[in-house]
Homo-oligomer: A and B are copies of this chain.
Amino acid sequence: MSAPFIWPVRVYWEDTDGGGIVYHANYVRFLERARSEWLRRLGFNQSALQKSGVVFAVYAMQLKFQKPARLDDSLDTTVENLILRRASFTVSQRVLDQRDGTLLCSGEAQIACLDAERFRPIPIPQEIYLEMAKL
């Protein structure tokens, strides 16, 4: 990928925990939003994909939580470094503080293409594969 895809996320009360910071599991939600918006930018709505029998599912994830985000923070989430395979792909992702680019969370997500009923691996649909291959 030539440049990271970037998607803004605002931190709300729902995202914080009693420690006064963003609850760690919620970064996983943020990263999924970024991937959903990246797919949408490529031209693909997952609701339509699901109706056509295809879902993308995370099968592995590695996360580092570098610094805490807090209520009202404006974050940037990224999708980058795509590694494309026939029935799966891997992306790197980061969560950055929008003010100064401080790295808050980074990780990697391994995503499988599955049939939506039985959750068995299937090839990435041709039109999606070709769009991804252009990146």
Contacts and interface: CB of A to CB of B under 8 A. Distances in A.
Interface stretch (A8-16, A78-86, A87-95, A125-133): A8-16
A20 interface: yes
**Interface hub of A17, A46, A70 (most chain B Cβ within 10 A):** A17
A19 B65 contact: no
A8 to B, nearest CB: 12
Interface residues of A, number: 42
A116 to B, nearest CB: 7
Nearest to A114: B19
Contacts of A16: 17-18
Contacts of A61: 24, 61-63, 65
7 contacts: A13-B17, A24-B32, A25-B32, A59-B64, A60-B64, A61-B61, A68-B119
